[in-house]
Structure formats: C-alpha cells, structure tokens
C-alpha cells in the first residue's frame, strides 16, 4: 500500500461564493456564484473583471480541493496505518481527474457541483436601453420544478426596492424584494425553501406560471429593450412575447433559471484500477449539502461491478466484501419522500 502524503495548502487565492469575501488582499479573485461574474481585489474592494480566462484559477481551486480530500482522509488513519486513495472534484462534467462515467451519470452539473435537480438557464441579451418599472413574463412548466434565479437590471439612484414574484393559478408561490445598487445587474436566487405551499406544477393551470418584476419603492427603473423574446427548453418554455405592462418593450436582459423537481440521481465513476489486497475502505464527500429529505450515500464495487455494496454512508469505515482491483463508485444524490435537494463537489475513497 502507498501511504498518503500530505502537502500544505497554498493560501486561498480564489473565492467561489455568493457574498463578498472579507479577505481584501490585493490580487485575490472572487467568483460571484449569484451573478456569475468575476472580481479582483485592488486592496480595498473587489472590482469587476471582464473577458477573463479562468482556466488557471479553476486549476488552483481543483488542486486545493484535492488537497482537502487528502488531508481529511489522512486524519482518519491511526498509528502506522497506510492507505491508498482515489478521488476527484467536480471541475466539469467529467471531473478534474476525468473519473466520471458520463454515460451512466444522471445528476445535473452546475458550475462546480453535481445536483439532483435539472438546471437550465435562459439569458436573452437585447440591444438598446430605455426604462420601465413593471414587467410580467408568462411561461409554461414542462416538468414540476421552480424558478431558481431571476435576472434584474436597474438604473437610477440605487435606493429603490424591486419585488420579484413567482405566481401560478393566482397563488404567489415565491417572492423576494431587493435593493440593487446604481445601474446594477444581478441574478436573484430562489431556493426550494422559498416556495410555499408548493413549487411550480406542470399540470396546474396547464403548467402556466408568471414571473413579475415590480418596483415597489423609489424612482429607479428596470432596464428594457424593444425586442421580444422566446425560449423552449426541457423544463420550461415561453412563446415569443413582449413583457406585459410594457406595451412593446421587454427586459434588456431577460434571464430565468429553472430547476426541475429533485429526483434520485447518481454520479458514476469509470472503472478505476487500484492495488490488490485491501480489506477496508472509507468514503468522503467533498462539500456535500442536503436540504429537506435529501441525502447522499454510495454504492461501490471493488471488482468492476460484479458485486456491489449499496447504501454506504460517508465517513464510516467499512469492510470490503468482494475484493478486486477495479473500483466503480456511484455517488447517490437522493431526493427522499419530499423531493429534497442533494449536491456534492467531489468524492474520495480511501482503502487499506
């Protein structure tokens, strides 16, 4: 067996999060997961960057994540134990180390993680500028799900309040109020927990639902353009339309993200060749997160899927029942009885 060698982590240079990092060291990079934009610190604040090649920063993030998995695994060893390990982080749809079996993977990839809900985004960018303060888009849900992000672009004094409503069959299912900065463009996130009494149904009212952008205070306006828009996807669609309340105008950037109702999904690895002789193993999840009835567990085979141990929990030492030299792992993102959310950014399997 090969002992795991730990290496010190480099100081964090890239932040991937929704809120502004407290670390303002000059040169630090922040990827804002809400508006999908990249900022660099000038020493006092984070300034928007455009036209940036992010490949190097993605490399740093992935290498740090692998180091975290190694350190977590090493921390479980006792005495003179030594172990081997296979692991990967969800850098893209195939994994940073290319261990994902894409043909057998059913989970949806989203930026740096796999999720058990399908995510699709419409972002129609128009030309020209004017202003208004009340728009309504009429959409149709093709699957049960929820609007998870709504784009808004405002211009004015930065003190106005805008409200975004998601409505179906006369019932407001979700609502959020925001106060954008002057000439601000941002994606407003909605989680499944923001919806009540239920998420959007593909059968209620024929699946028809509306999204409203409304100014409730102040004098700032939502940017608009004179071009109509349309979209047809797997989870939702809308016919060519101007947004009602605006006559012949639509949003400057009409942006909607739809997340299909959560279901049981998997990320499966390719067959990974490993040394023989191991008798025990332990599985680690990188940044796993669940809400509601969502759970994460694993199925694993050490003999190229001839025999499979199912329902294995993370961080639990387990005996290998059928030894071999080829691991196939299934990371199960389970919805549970009430369509819970489950997501993960990678995995590690230590065996000895």
Give the 3-state secondary structure of residue 205.
Answer: helix
Examine the fold and report which residue of 239, 260, 281 is the final residue of a domain before the chain moves on: 260
- Cα(74)–Cα(252) distance, integer angstroms: 52
Which CATH number belongs to the domain containing residue 344 in this structure? 2.60.120
pLDDT of residue 350: 87
Instruction: Answer yes or no: are the C-beta atoms of 304 and 337 closer than 8 Å.
Output: no
Chain-centroid distance, C-alpha 217 = 32
pLDDT of residue 319: 96
Do 228 and 161 sit in the same domain of this protein?
yes
- Cα(115)–Cα(122) distance, integer angstroms: 19
Do 130 and 111 sit in the same domain of this protein?
no
Please report, in tens digits, the pLDDT of each residue of the chain (352 residues total): 445 444 444 567 888 887 788 888 888 888 877 666 788 888 888 877 755 555 555 656 667 777 777 776 666 655 555 578 888 999 889 998 999 999 999 998 887 899 998 878 887 655 444 456 777 888 999 988 999 888 887 776 667 888 999 999 999 999 999 887 655 677 888 988 899 999 999 999 999 999 998 888 887 777 666 666 788 888 898 887 766 554 444 554 457 888 888 889 999 999 999 888 899 999 999 889 998 899 999 999 999 999 999 999 999 999 999 999 999 999 999 999 877 889 999 999 988 8
Examine the fold and report which residue of 260, 276, 304 is the final residue of a domain before the chain moves on: 260
Instruction: Answer yes or no: are the C-beta atoms of 61 and 48 closer than 8 Å.
Output: no
What is the pTM for the complete model shown?
0.62
C-alpha dihedral, 249 to 201 to 234 to 92, nearest 10°: 100
Q: Which domain covers residue 282, as residue numbers? A: 55-115+264-351
Examine the fold and report which residue of 260, 278, 303 is the final residue of a domain before the chain moves on: 260
């Amino acid at each position: 067996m090969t002992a795991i060698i730990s290496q010190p982590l480099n100081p964090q240079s890239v932040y991937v999060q929704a809120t502004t990092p407290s670390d303002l060291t000059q040169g630090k990079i922040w990827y804002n997961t809400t508006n999908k934009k990249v900022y660099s610190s000038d020493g006092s604040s984070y300034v928007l960057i455009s036209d940036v090649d992010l490949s190097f920063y993605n490399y740093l993030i992935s290498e740090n994540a692998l180091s975290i998995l190694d350190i977590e695994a090493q921390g479980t060893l006792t005495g003179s134990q030594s172990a081997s390990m296979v692991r990967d982080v969800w850098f893209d749809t195939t994994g940073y180390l290319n261990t994902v079996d894409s043909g057998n993977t059913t989970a949806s990839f989203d930026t740096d993680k796999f999720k058990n809900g399908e995510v699709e985004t419409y972002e129609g960018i128009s030309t020209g500028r004017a202003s208004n303060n009340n728009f309504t888009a009429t959409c149709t849900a093709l699957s049960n799900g929820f609007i998870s992000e709504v784009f808004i672009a405002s211009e004015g004094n930065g003190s106005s309040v805008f409200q975004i409503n998601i409505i179906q069959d006369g019932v407001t299912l979700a609502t959020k109020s925001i106060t954008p900065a002057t000439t601000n463009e941002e994606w407003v996130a909605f989680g499944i927990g923001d919806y009540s009494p239920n998420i959007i149904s593909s059968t209620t009212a024929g699946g028809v639902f509306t999204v409203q952008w409304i100014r409730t205070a102040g004098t700032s306006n939502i940017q608009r353009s004179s071009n109509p828009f349309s979209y047809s996807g797997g989870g939702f669609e809308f016919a060519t339309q101007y947004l009602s309340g605006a006559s012949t105008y639509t949003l400057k950037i009409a942006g909607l993200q739809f997340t299909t109702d959560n279901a049981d999904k998997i990320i499966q690895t390719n067959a990974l060749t490993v040394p023989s002789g191991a008798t025990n193993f332990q599985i680690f999840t990188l940044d796993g997160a669940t809400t509601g009835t969502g759970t994460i567990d694993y199925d694993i085979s050490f003999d190229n899927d001839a025999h499979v141990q199912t329902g294995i929990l993370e961080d639990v030492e387990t005996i290998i029942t059928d030894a071999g030299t080829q691991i196939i792992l299934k990371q199960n993102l389970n919805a549970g009885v009430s369509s819970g959310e489950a997501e993960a950014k990678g995995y590690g399997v230590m065996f000895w």
